[in-house]
Structure 1
Amino acid sequence: MNPDRDLQISNELALGLNDIMEYLARQAELKKVRDAAETFADRLPWLTTPEREAVVEVYTADRQDVSHEVLLRIADRTVELRGEYEARYQALRARLISAWMIVIAVSVMLTSFVVP
């Protein structure tokens, strides 16, 4: 067995599963949007069949556009938050390292006074 090859296969499987999950999530969202469009069109009983189908299509397209825009905003905000958290982590890490360095320096100084 080749560990590098196994890792590559594992990564490919993970990417494939991610693609499948993304596709299923999109299809579920599309169904939800389409159902909402159908419910909306049902409240307009005076529409002819072609008009009703047009309303459903336009409503569905609009809701998909809104969903896409929201997802893009969430993705952008995720990138922003990641940058903020990484900066905070680095600052905290630097403070912690500084504190440990001070503790070590004080310990060395105190031991040099105690040990002749």
Structure 2
Amino acid sequence: MGGRQRPPRARTPRQGKAAGGGRPNSRADSRPSPRADSTVEIARLEGYLAWEAEVAAAERDARAFAGQFPWLPTAERESLEQAYTADRLRYAEEVVDRAVERCRQLAARYRSECRRICTRWAALCLSVTLAAALFAVVPAALRG
């Protein structure tokens, strides 16, 4: 084949959180901790390996597909393999992009739900605290 297709474009890390799980960094500079660096690098390596596996599978399937047409000249068969591989990798990239977008949508939804629940809990705790304070203060004020 005529070389590898490009992998899906690089994903940006989640906004508002460090790559290492959102723990604050104790360093004075703004560089991520070595643990966060290694986590990001491992994720990149996993993505690279997954993409290379997809490329290899696409090329294997393209050869099998083109092998069904033994009457085609070699140049046309190679052209068919390249077109098949490119189409399959384009589709794989679209699938990855849709999955990433869906993950981002779900993350935003879960963040907003979490904020809503935390706000309700804070309001409930504040209400209970105020009620307890009133029950402690009002009888003393009525007696005195």
Indicate the TM-score class for this superposition, using the shorter chain for normalisation: 0.7 to 0.9
Aligned to 1:92: 117
Q: Which runs of 5+ in 1 are unaligned?
A: none
Matched, 1:101 2:126: yes
TM-score, scaled to structure 2: 0.66
Task: Assess, with a 3 A threshold, how the Cα gap between structure 1 residues 114 and 43 changes in structure 2: closer, same or farther.
Answer: farther
One-letter amino acid of the structure 2 residue matched with residue 49 of structure 1? T
Structure 2 SS opposite 1:93: helix
Aligned to 2:42: 17
TM-score, scaled to structure 1: 0.79
Matched, 1:41 2:66: yes
Cα distance in structure 1, aligned partners of 2:37 and 2:63: 39
RMSD: 2.3
Aligned to 2:135: 110
Structure number with the bigger relative contact order (C-alpha 8 A, sep ≥ 6) is: 2
Matched, 1:58 2:58: no
* Structure-to-structure mapping, 1:21-32, within 5 angstroms: 21-32=46-57
**81-90 vs 55-64, which deviates more?**
81-90
Aligned to 1:81: 106
Cα distance in structure 2, aligned partners of 1:16 and 1:110: 57
Q: Percent identity?
A: 25
Size of the aligned set, in residue pairs, is 113
Cα distance in structure 1, aligned partners of 2:96 and 2:90: 10
